[in-house]
Amino acid sequence: MNETLVYAVISLSAIGVISAIILYFVAQKFKVIEDPRIDIVADLLPSANCGGCGLAGCRAFAEEVVRTEDLSKINCPVSGNEAMKQIAAAMGLEAQEKDPLIAVVRCSGNRTNAPQKVVYDSAAACSFAHALSAGESGCPNGCLGLGDCVVSCKFDAIWIDELTGLAVVSDELCVACGTCVTACPRSIIELRLKGKKDRRIFVSCVNTERGGPARKNCQVACIGCGKCVKECPYDAITLENNLAYIDFAKCRLCRKCTPVCPTGSILETNFPVRREKSDETEKVSETSEA
């Protein structure tokens, strides 16, 4: 009986030693040499894996940073300039300052402006509604309010306002990763310059119909009249397919285009209230959307 025990112990130990030796050599043979800098860079990233950089995730971004050693082409919109500077310092590179962007929903067709005409009762997703019908208000380009963008957002920065039925983006939470831009089947959401003090001016409409048909469905549709184009002193506004577009790189936020718009489709956000010429006493206070 003792003998059996001894044999068992010896054979097991022998197997153990042999396996250990094999494993050692296998490990040597298939050793993965990874740049330790990848881990350093990855630690500085937000680990949200949002894909805002255009790569598969944060790890892929870190690998790309180490591989190219050039920060001018890739940028993590979520970390912002501070983190990019830290990454650059860790890598011994120069970081490029990028002005922060934000997602902007270019539709103001809420329930008063663009009243509901038909009822959509199929699957509650914009991609479906877009393929099946023009939408409840009849505007073929307007926000459907079924929340494909909400589902896509990893930062809880966008939601559907119950009252207006439109998507709303949070100034604080949005990191401009751009997933909602691709999620929207109607390309309503655009990444625009966040602007100083979150001040932005944009045409809040993407309808390319002519003025009449567009106005039929929505009070605040851009009718392509071109008044804003004439008014703009910086040539920032272009008119194409009956739709005005403000180039945020050229726009200097002078606010001249907003009052001339006959339908009020140009929005300005986070500007102080305009001083009425007739009523000078009105106090200037902070406001949000016009």
Task: Report d(CA 240, CA 31) in Å as an integer.
Answer: 58
Answer for the pair 141, 186: CB distance below 8 angstroms, yes or no. Answer: yes
* Helix then strand then coil, % of the chain, to nearest 5: 35, 10, 55
Q: Which is nearer to another protein, 86 or 133 (CB)?
A: 133
Helix/strand/coil for 244: strand
Amino acid at position 267, single letter? L
Shortest Cβ distance from residue 141 to another protein (Å)?
A: 10
Q: Which is nearer to another protein, 26 or 132 (CB)?
A: 132
Position of tokens 């300005």? 268
Site for another protein in 117-136 (CB under 8 A): 117-118, 121-123, 125, 127-128, 131-135
86 near another protein (CB under 8 A)? no
Residue range at the interface with another protein (CB under 8 A); choices 32-40, 84-92, 116-124, 190-198: 116-124
Task: Report d(CA 1, CA 184) in Å as an integer.
Answer: 76
Number of residues in contact with another protein under rule CB under 8 A: 17
CA distance between the termini of the chain = 93
Q: Which is nearer to another protein, 55 or 134 (CB)?
A: 134
Task: Report d(CA 87, CA 94) in Å as an integer.
Answer: 9
Shortest Cβ distance from residue 213 to another protein (Å)?
A: 7
Position of tokens 């604080």? 172
Q: Which is nearer to another protein, 128 or 159 (CB)?
A: 128
Site for another protein in 199-228 (CB under 8 A): 209, 213
266's tokens: 């140009």
DSSP 274: P
Q: Which is nearer to another protein, 77 or 135 (CB)?
A: 135
Shortest Cβ distance from residue 264 to another protein (Å)?
A: 24
138 near another protein (CB under 8 A)? yes
140 near another protein (CB under 8 A)? yes
Shortest Cβ distance from residue 188 to another protein (Å)?
A: 16
215's tokens: 């106005």
Helices 58-68, 80-91: axis angle to 10 degrees equals 50
Shortest Cβ distance from residue 197 to another protein (Å)?
A: 38
Shortest Cβ distance from residue 226 to another protein (Å)?
A: 21
Rule CB under 8 A: which residues touch another protein?
A: 117-118, 121-123, 125, 127-128, 131-135, 138, 140, 209, 213
